[in-house]
Amino acid sequence: MKILINMATLKKGGGQNVALNFLASISNIEFDDVEFYFFVADGSDCHQFLLNAKNDNFRVVPSSPLKRIIFELMCAKSVMSRENVDIIYTYFGIGFFRTKIPQVSGSADSNLYFPEIDFWSHYKGLDRLKKKVVDSYRIWGLKRASAIIFENKAMESRSKKLFNLKQTTFIKPSINLDTDIANFNSSVSNKHKGLFLCGWQLNKNIMIIPEIAFYLKKEGIPFEFVITAPIDNSLEHIRFTEKVKYFDVEDYINLTGTVKKQDLTSLYENINFVFLLSKLESFSNNIIEAWYHKRLLIISDEIWSKSICKESAFYVQRDDAVIIASALGKIIKDKKLQNLIIEKASIELLSYPTINERTVSEINYLKQIYECS
């Protein structure tokens, strides 16, 4: 059995990190009667990984979405025929392949499964239209795939009701939690510290931070928000800085800029809380990292988050700065509740697979779909 692992859609972000874990894992596991071939985006970390591993079983695909689709339509079929591919696994997303070879897709586009939420509310005009067109393409791809792998149980359930998807499975995510040398320089103070480990994605609700800080300062609650968004003078960065000045909370904000992966352990050691105030997520490394480092996770009170976290997080109304600040003030004083939630998170963490265990589950599912096709 020969599996085409299609990673051509992955060029950056959490999806690529998960894919790199997968690549490292299949390098360490022996699979009976299974061979692998790869499509990778030109210049991506996945591309570099295979080069470093001296693995020649791959085809470099253009990183441009339009050029990639042209490759999928015009060239991919002949490549797959030459390589005797039996099944395609598009790690996240869908391939525009003109072939009857069964294709399994990993789906992490959470907004597709919660149409009642205006996920693209921050976009207007042509930009908003582009997002809607891409979403329509993704839904078309879901319906066309032989099977879909989900990492969020609520999304899998909704996929059946919204799109009548028949062949789906749920496999819990896993990330690499190797510890690193502590190397992150944090400011020394007696303040409680809350981490926003994210970029300038508006979905993360990063722009509400200055207002939360304002109400904490008003109540005399010392606090420091540690934010890893890049210091890049982007429109979002400029807007955020203006809001910090408007609310006069410079002393509550520590904009560190991007933190290197090797410094994450030290970063978590220097904070008390982890914030994830997203409108929607399929899953987030922030969740499992907070649990692993025994830091209280403060998360949006939403269906997707409760599906993942259950009783292992502290829930807040993501769009109300007054309520968030008030809840934060209460939880800071309630050490007993903090410890109880962290204890439940440690138990929940035990139910998550190792990277190798997840990889084996994925390959076994691909075998199952192939045998039934």
User: Which strand (E) or helix (H) includes residue 340?
Assistant: helix 335-349
> Which DSSP letter does residue 61 get?
E
Instruction: Check residue 184 and give its pLDDT.
Output: 45
Please state, in angstroms and rounded to a whole number, the distance separating the CA atoms of residues 261 and 180.
Answer: 9
Distances (CA, A) of 32 to 1, 36, 363: 9, 12, 11
Query: Which stretches in the chain have pLDDT values below 50?
Result: 179-186, 188
Q: Do 286 and 274 contact (CB within 8 A), yes or no?
A: yes
3-state class (DSSP) for residue 119: coil
Q: What CATH architecture is 2-174+354-372?
A: 3-Layer(aba) Sandwich (3.40)
Residue type, 184: F
Instruction: Check residue 260 and give its pLDDT.
Output: 79
Instruction: Check residue 188 and give its pLDDT.
Output: 47
Structure tokens at 281: 């997520």
CB neighbour class for 267 (10 Å; exposed up to 12, middle 13-18, buried from 19): buried
Buried b (16+ CB within 10 A) or exposed e, 202-211: ebbbbebbbb
What CATH superfamily is the domain 192-349? Glycogen Phosphorylase B; (3.40.50.2000)
> Which DSSP letter does residue 312 get?
S
CB neighbour class for 261 (10 Å; exposed up to 12, middle 13-18, buried from 19): exposed
Please state, in angstroms and rounded to a whole number, the distance separating the CA atoms of residues 127 and 154.
Answer: 28
Q: Do 93 and 9 contact (CB within 8 A), yes or no?
A: yes
Query: pLDDT tens-digit profile of 37-73?
Result: 999 999 999 999 999 998 999 999 999 989 999 999 9
Please state, in angstroms and rounded to a whole number, the distance separating the CA atoms of residues 97 and 76.
Answer: 7
Residue type, 15: G
Strand order in the sheet with 87-90: 58-61, 35-41, 2-7, 87-90, 103-107, 147-150, 168-170
Domain with CATH 3.40.50.2000 in the chain: 2-174+354-372, 192-349
Instruction: Check residue 175 and give its pLDDT.
Output: 63
Structure tokens at 157: 């359930």
State what percent of residues in the chain have pLDDT above 90: 70
